[in-house]
Amino acid sequence: MEGGPISLEDWAAALWKDPRVRAAAEAYNGSPLPSAKKFEPILKEAVEEETVPDDETAFKPRHKQLRGKLNVPRERFRSITSQPGHYVWAGK
């Protein structure tokens, strides 16, 4: 995949293969998760907190708040506006 863009579904499936990720997700959830599909909403919640759109015209107030008044990129991920549900690492 070479750094993205990657769909949330594929990303969740790849992470789900790691037993440490499964253990952390199940601890966060408070109960066992049967599949990567059930892990997706947890991953999405975590990623969305650190994501801004790759098109600044699509920014919402929370995106501007993440950047601050000097518009300094502090996010970890960017969502691809032309491919909804796809993300790239912010440094790419």
- What is the share, in percent, of the chain residues with pLDDT greater than 70? 96
Q: End-to-end alpha-carbon separation of the chain, Å? A: 13
Q: Grade residue 92 by pLDDT with cuts at 50, 70 and 90.
A: low
pTM of the model: 0.80
Q: Grade residue 3 by pLDDT with cuts at 50, 70 and 90.
A: low
- Over residues 29-58, the pLDDT tens digits come to 899 999 999 999 999 999 988 899 989 899
Structure tokens belonging to residue 32:
């066992």
Residue 1: the pLDDT is 47
Q: pLDDT averaged over the chain? A: 90
Domain assignments of the chain as residue spans, ordered by start: 6-89
